Structure 1
Amino acid sequence: MFSHSDHIREIERVGRGLPVSRDDMVVKSWLRCLEHHRLDPAQTCEAYIVPEPRFKEHRQQSEDLINIARSGLEHLFRQVAGQNYVLLLSDRQGVTVEFLGDPLFDNNLRKAGLYLGSEWSEWRAGTCAVGACLETGEALTIHQTDHFDNTHTPLSCTAAPIYDARGELSAVLDISLLSSPIQKASQNLALHLVTATARRIELANLMAQAPHQWVLRFSRSPEFLDVDPEAAISIDSLGRIAGMTHGGAKILARSTGRDWRDPRQLIGEPVSRFFDMEIDDLPDLTRRRPTQERLVFARDGNALFAHAIEPHSRTRAPAVSREQIPPPLRRLGGDAPEIVSLQVKAAKLARTGLPILIQGETGTGKEHLARAIHEGSGLKGQFVAINCAAIPEQLIESELFGYLPGAFTGASAKGRKGLIEQADGGTLFLDEIGDMPLVLQSRLLRVLAEAEVLPVGGSVPRPVQIRVVSASHRPLQTLVAQGAFREDLYYRLNAATLSLPALRDRPDFEWIVAQILARHSYGERELTLSPAALVALKSHDWPGNIRELDNAIAVGAALAENCVVEIGDLPDHLAAKAGAAGMGDAGAALGLMLSACGWNISEAARRLGLDRSTVHRQIKRYRLKQKH
């Protein structure tokens, strides 16, 4: 019989670096508990159930996933019926948001923590299946004395991660027993079942999120391809990876030697980078062809059977004309359906007073959109913009909340009204909100919750009525998961989200170029771009987005003669790229574009506004060849 003291001594051996007869992932988890979480194996801890208000928040945030997962969860529970298993679905913080178990054992299950609202994060519960799964991102079993905390050693728990379509770990599926056979191998079937269910939930989630995109499903066996695929990816209309299951991420990463743990290396990349195919090849992989003939080859030589599912009807242009969109918003983009949809959504939200979060890369125009929302809101107060990343941390409190006379050394004798109070009756724009220190996030949350602001050095709060628009180039949900951003503030700011596309993805690129050219024209001097210069602009990736494009055209405008911006008038890095390609005719321009797109014909055709067959004809006409 393995006693409590034996268990403690074994964990202490691990802490001293001595060998023990445990799985490697258990040893690593014990070390994290000792060294990182600072847990004491001699200190037993009862299962923790989060307070009801907090549980409701976790449950609400996971509602979409629960609805998608419910069918799979119920099917799994039926598979293990009669074997006394309890099924838990935990969110990214390890809180149980869904539970299936025998109601006859409710009291015992709740006491053991196998219940709604229980938190199984590793830092709180020690080594456990949910916590270790969240830490490693892999399916595993934590069996009896594998658990760090002696309270949990009667349990046997098996968990598998559930990843969202962007490749981020979003939940954990766990099945547990209050008591089980001594042998850990007894849970091998449980591991298989929970992993298969997690895979099917991910696939259902991907399908739900990609109705207007191609979905490509994979299997190593043609017999199971159409009924139970092993992995899937979604592909947007431009042939780029838009989403994936966990298995899909591993296939993509393996094909190019990348790390599946960094989904940023995968999302947004052309499908041709991972497979010997283009988007135009997808119709050949639908059910119109026999399963055995639907074979694709990854760049690492891996052969897979594939099933392509066509997109549903494409997104239509909104049932309003551009002229019906308020002018401030209309000035922010061209008439491409995706851009008009964004403008219409912003126009509707502007009139509501709801807090809005704008997400987008640096330089995409987040502040311009925020100003346009304010102008379309009808509010009488000011638009006050605060860059949370630009104000020194020691000054941000007094800048935001203001201060009373003599509040601190160097304070103005008259005191100062803070930026929040200056926005009273108008719009407060919090740019780069993700960079706000945590301590100030707490104070901002109180301002928003209580509609009052307390100046530094003051004791009497002042009422304020503000509409808040915030923005960040960083994914706030990820910051929340990392503990770098307050979850309650995130939901206070994020009633609605507007996502600004990067310049390289904007379908109205030429419209933006025309607006910037017009801005740099003056008098009778109307600037235009030569065809070669336009191709050079289109072939650039624009990491600095619209801000970088504006600078490039400003340089071209300053150097241009005869009102035409030539390739040599553009900044050196653009001109040098074109010079290396021998830019001087249509053939060289096409060569430059192909090089910029990695010789992805579909992408080059999209950027040039041509179809693929035309690009292929021009490649033959100008005898262009890819340089290795």
Structure 2
Amino acid sequence: MGFSDHIEEIERVGQGSNTGRDAIVIDSWRRCLDTYQLDPSKAREAVIVSETRLREHRQQAEDLIHIARSGLERLYRQVAEQNYVLLLSDRQGVTVEFLGDPSFNNNLRKAGLYLGSEWSEPRAGTCAVGACIATGEALTIHQTDHFDITHTPLSCTAAPIYDMHGALTAVLDISLLSSPILKTSQNMARHLVSSTVRRIELANLMANSRHDLVLRFAGAPEFLDVDPEAAITVDSAGCITGMTHGGAHMLATSRGLDWRKPEVLLGRSVTDFFDADVDELASLTRARLPQDRRIAVRDGTVLYAHAIEPQQRTTSVPVVRLPQSIPAMGRLGGGVPLIDGLRRKITKLAPGKLPILIQGQTGTGKEYLARIIHEVSGLSGRFIAVNCAAIPEQLIESELFGYLPGAFTGALAKGRKGLVEEAQGGTLFLDEIGDMPFSAQSRLLRVLAEGEVLPVGGAVPRKVNFRVVSASHRSLADMVAAGTFREDLYYRLNAAILSLPPLSERDDFPWLLDRLLEKHGEAGRPLRLSDTARMVVLGYHWPGNIRELDNALAFAGALCEGGLITVEDLPDHLSQGARPASDDGREAALRAVLASCKGNVSEAARRLGIDRTTLHRQMRRFGIDRPH
């Protein structure tokens, strides 16, 4: 296919035609045209990031590279004679590991098949790595499947690597500079890449689950101990704590759930998915022959299982199941790109000691996020929360840093340990740090810089070691510019910045809504919303964010009958203008949801928990045009 023919085909696809390409290619081309505004007539050279950026990406992916290396080397030995190149890309599409024939380095670098190459769709157009990140599926982008004419000689096959919490964390790609014309020639490549990814995910799961029961599954006993197809981890209470991608598929299929929403799988009891409890599953060790380790899945499938006992199994005791028993990452939010990105950052940042600054409007859940960071960090000390706006200015230094006996009038006879010392070995969370008085900012800076605290009235400092997480709904950078916040303290606190969006901008709003309904429900009386009430809630702008939503549901739950919340049960400022028992009420609520989504029908459908076809049908019924 010539240059002009390739451009013409892409343009026809952009106009709505289907040219016979695989659907995954058609969808990617349309993203390139509509979402990324790429021009197929402008060839772009392959992008190799700077040494500094590459070093940053490799450092963030260091653990994965270490775990994946033996699998990559094994795969490369299998395909090297066919002139394949291996690329391991991170979630941003940057190649953090590369295996290829050194004699072809110049050609490979020019083609972008090299360490540091960036293969995200917005940067490179349709390509295997970028399309894999966008779809979460293993795929081949062969020759003229590529959007950019620069890449049409290449044939690339990629498979996603998921972490144990169900988030796509990397992509393994094998590519050829030139290949046979037929796309089916790459079927074996896809099989090899997928097999390698399965082994990498299993190794990662094993490395991060030393204290949980590991269960590996296969459809035939002959493969159980040598090449399992799926794996999960289970804690001593019988709750699922981790899974490979195959494990997520297995669990989701057994109950008709969506594997793309790991939060509906993590934290649930194994008895929800298997016809066996945790003790029965734990007995399926190598002490029994593979053919004797049969296990029935809830959808009727029979699998073979291999149980690997944890290194330190805690004593099994009855556990009260509460929402907090869900693993921290599962409680963070729904399976949407924004929250998945937040999960990836926390996974990397939490175990370290870098100070973290959380920014977001009031009520977006900044302290909730800080507690999750502490939980994931593995720190043995306590989580100490300090609301800097709530402590009177004259008391904040003594509250934070403590005081000696007789330090001031009214001081306790024994003195008092400050909140900074209370956080020893743990996390100090400074909420609304922007409201801390200037004098206390100076004292805090000294504590962070020198790792020691001087109590009020004291002369000898005390050593302290803790992780600091701070939060503010105000822009600290603007405060620094205005001279109301110390610049040197600001740079001590913002080594890493995490941003929480307002509730109205969260694509997982329906997930949050359902979790809060669960929170306020009671045993035997779960809370639920009528269709119209749900539309009203999802269409409201929520200036107070999650805190306001939480309060509104608590209020409505106390008023409603039989656990069903109607519009009449909602706070007055929500229900005004929506008549619950009429089509007019549903129409008004539907208009509100569409308006809050700025006319984006896909986003409105996601918020309402329905598909686009159903939403379009409702819009036609009520005579609603898409808002502009």
User: Shorter-chain-normalised TM-score: which range?
Assistant: 0.5 to 0.7
Aligned letter for 2:39? Answer: D
Q: Could you tell me how far apart the structure 2 residues matched to 1:478 and 1:464 are? A: 22
**Within 1, Cα distance between the matches of 2:500 and 2:78?**
34
What are structure 1's unaligned runs of at least 5 residues?
A: 317-337, 339-351, 389-399, 401-416, 448-452, 485-501, 503-535, 552-570, 578-628
- Deviation at residue 130 of structure 1 after TM alignment: 0.1
For residue 355 of structure 1, report the CA deviation from its aligned partner. 2.2
Q: Deviations over 1:444-478 (max 9, x none)?
A: 8xx9xxxxx3326x9x9855488649999xxx599
Asked if the contact 2:213–2:282 (Cα under 8 Å) also holds between the matched residues in 1, the reply is: no
Aligned residue in 2 for 1:72: 71
Matches within 5 A, 1:595-606: none
Amino acid at match of 1:455: A
**CA distance in structure 2 between the aligned counterparts of 1:163 and 1:373, rounded to whole angstroms:** 42
CA distance in 2, matches of 1:26, 1:19: 11
Deviation, 1:28, is 0.4
Shift in Å, 1:19: 2.1
Indicate whether 1:454 and 2:470 are aligned: no
AA of the residue aligned to 2:299: D
SS of 1:21's equivalent? coil
Q: C-alpha displacement at 1:21, in angstroms?
A: 2.0
Selected match of 1:423 from 431, 441, 446? 441
Letter in 2 for 1:278: D
Task: Identify if the C-alpha distance between structure 1 residues 270 and 81 changes in structure 2 by more than 3 Å, giving closer, same or farther.
Answer: same
Whichever residue aligns with residue 229 of structure 2, its letter is: E
Q: Find out whether 1:159 has 2:177 as its counterpart.
A: no
User: Residues 108, 369 of structure 1: CA spacing in aligned structure 2 closer, same or farther, 3 A cutoff?
Assistant: same
Q: Deviations 1:33-90 (Å, cap 9, x if unpaired)?
A: 0001110000110011111111111000000000000000000000002111100000
Partner Cα distance (2:496, 2:487) in 1:
26
Match for 2:482: what amino acid?
P
Question: Shift in Å at residue 370 of structure 1?
Answer: 3.5
Aligned partners of 1:539 and 1:60: how far apart in 2? 50
Q: Structure 2 length as normaliser, TM-score?
A: 0.60
Measured against aligned partners, the alpha-carbon deviations of 1:310-342 in whole angstroms (never above 9, x if no partner) come to: 1112479xxxxxxxxxxxxxxxxxxxxx9xxxx
Aligned to 2:111: 112
In the TM superposition, residue 263 of structure 1 has moved relative to its aligned partner by: 0.5
Question: Does 2:382 correspond to 1:355?
Answer: no
Q: Distance in 2 between matches of 1:14 and 1:46?
A: 23
Could you tell me which residue of structure 2 aligns to residue 189 of structure 1? 188
Indicate how the Cα distance of structure 1 residues 421 and 154 shifts in structure 2: closer, same or farther if over 3 A, else same: farther
Q: What is the identity percentage for the equivalent residue pairs of Structure 1 and Structure 2?
A: 56
Corresponding residue for residue 45 of structure 1: 44
Contact 2:166-2:243 at 8 Å conserved across structures = yes
Please, what TM-score do these two structures have when normalized by structure 1? 0.60
Letter aligned with residue 52 of structure 1: E
Contact 1:165 1:243 in 2 (8 A): yes
**Shift, 1:119, TM fit:** 0.5
2-structure distance, mates of 1:364, 1:465: 21
Deviations 1:140-167 (A, max 9, x none): 0000000000000010000000000000
Partner of 1:494: none
The 1-side partners of 2:207 and 2:283 are apart by 23
1:283 deviates by: 3.0
How far apart in 2 are the matches of 1:227 and 1:46? 43
Matches within 5 A, 1:168-183: 168-183=167-182
Please state if 1:265 is matched with 2:264.
yes
What one-letter code is carried by the residue in structure 2 that aligns with 1:424? S
Shift of 1:425: 2.2
Work out the CA distance in 2 between the residues paired with 1:373 and 1:276: 53
Cα deviation for residue 205 of structure 1 reads 0.3
1:279 aligns with 2:278: yes
Q: CA distance change for structure 1 residues 315 and 387 in 2, over 3 Å: closer, same or farther? A: farther
SS of aligned partner of 1:173: strand
Q: Give the letter aligned to residue 261 of structure 2.
A: D
For residues 113 and 478 of structure 1, the distance between their equivalents in structure 2, rounded to whole angstroms, comes to: 35
Partner-residue secondary structure (3-state), 1:82: helix
- Within-5 A mapping of 1:230-245: 230-245=229-244
- Shift in alpha-carbon separation, 1:469–1:33, aligned structure 2, 3 A: closer
One-letter amino acid of the counterpart of residue 385, structure 2? A
Matches within 5 A, 1:332-347: none
Partner of 2:581: none
Alignment-derived partner of residue 13 in structure 1: 12
Structure 2, unaligned stretches of length 5 or more? Answer: 316-326, 328-351, 359-365, 375-381, 387-398, 402-417, 423-427, 449-467, 507-514, 516-520, 528-546, 552-556, 564-628
Q: Which residue of structure 2 lines up, in the alignment, with residue 370 of structure 1?
A: 385
Provide the residue aligned with 2:100 in structure 1.
Answer: 101
Contact in 2 for aligned 1:426/1:466 (Cα 8 Å): no
- Residue 139 of structure 1 contacts residue 159 of structure 1 at CA under 8 Å; is this kept in 2? yes
Q: d(CA) in 2 for partners of 1:80 and 1:362?
A: 44
Matched residues, number: 428
Shift in Å, 1:368: 6.3
Instruction: Tell me if structure 2 keeps the 8 A contact 1:370–1:469.
Output: no
Report how far residue 290 of structure 1 moved. 1.5
Query: 1:195 Cα shift?
Result: 0.5
Correspondences of 1:98-497 after superposition (within 5 Å): 98-314=97-313, 355=355, 361=368, 369-371=384-386, 375=418, 377=420, 385-387=430-432, 400=434, 423-426=441-444, 440=475, 443=477, 453-455=480-482, 463-464=488-489, 468=493
CA distance in 2, matches of 1:144, 1:75: 26
Contact 2:224 2:304 in 1 (8 A): yes
CA contact (8 A) 1:426 1:467 kept: no
Take 1:424 and 1:140, find their aligned partners in 2: how far apart are those partners?
A: 55
Q: How many angstroms apart in 1 are the aligned matches of 2:175 and 2:492?
A: 47
